[in-house]
Chain A
């Protein structure tokens, strides 16, 4: 009798671990083929998705051009809103008339002609 009582199951577990089933080379080959196929699938789907966006960007000159386009658009909107206030003194301001700016083409000429 041993000093420490050994679980009788341990002998069976030991035998079980030694008798571990090993995969066939054919299974290993199939698993590796799946890995290769998955890599290939990612390689074909990835760039196509990005290609459309990059094609549009290339057409307008890339990201810097897109930023410039956005800035120009915003500036245009701002100018469109602000211009009437800025230019009104010159167009219809007190003390100025068309004769003051272009005397030869004033209303006097039109009346005499």
Chain B
């Protein structure tokens, strides 16, 4: 988002208190596609949380032949270890979401702090922090993740930290711009004049204005975090004991699912990942759009204005 757009956002009255929380719901209600996506995410999260109770078969027990075909008992067939795919997917969803949320949380915390500090204090601190951000941006994510995961060793915790460390930059930038414009608002200046401390101003005035943007940025980051985890898993760098969706794909690839024609071992996990990423992108995008009050008139479009038959004013004659 450009600085100008965010400045416009800052001018749009965003009240504190209940409207803040209502913002997400209001936005979603107005955009049906985003609402569907949000419901999907909610359903998926609930499924993941309830995994131990709703998974139809045990996770580590072989219940049939290797790469067993889909049947009425096993809707998506069996994987290379004879384990039920639906069960695998539900548990895999759980791991993927945990990694996605946790990594995003890490990046949100780092990005939020950097953004607020840089935006609020400005000057030298701002320059230094932005330089650091620029250098972080220049490093290509996937190779760095690979290198760090390789050196550090594949554990869930390491993966979460690695992904989180790479994703904070865009959040930081967006938050910083917003904080900068909020800082210039009259009520903040008044608070400063009255002698309010920095912490108080940040917590009471800056954060509420920044929160919606942070939420939008967070949702979008979750999409990237899930993708990154899938990529790392595919390259064999994720935790072997935690079977995430990415890991399922990697296992299938390693055990030649394709050449044995066992498409059910590869297609469903990927579809699920794609849907997750799609849903997060839609919801995050809708929130971002809602924060952007520029109502663009289409001066040119395939559709043109319509003609209507002549209207008289006869009815309400004097």
Partners in one complex: no
Q: Report A's interface with B, CB cutoff 8 A.
A: none
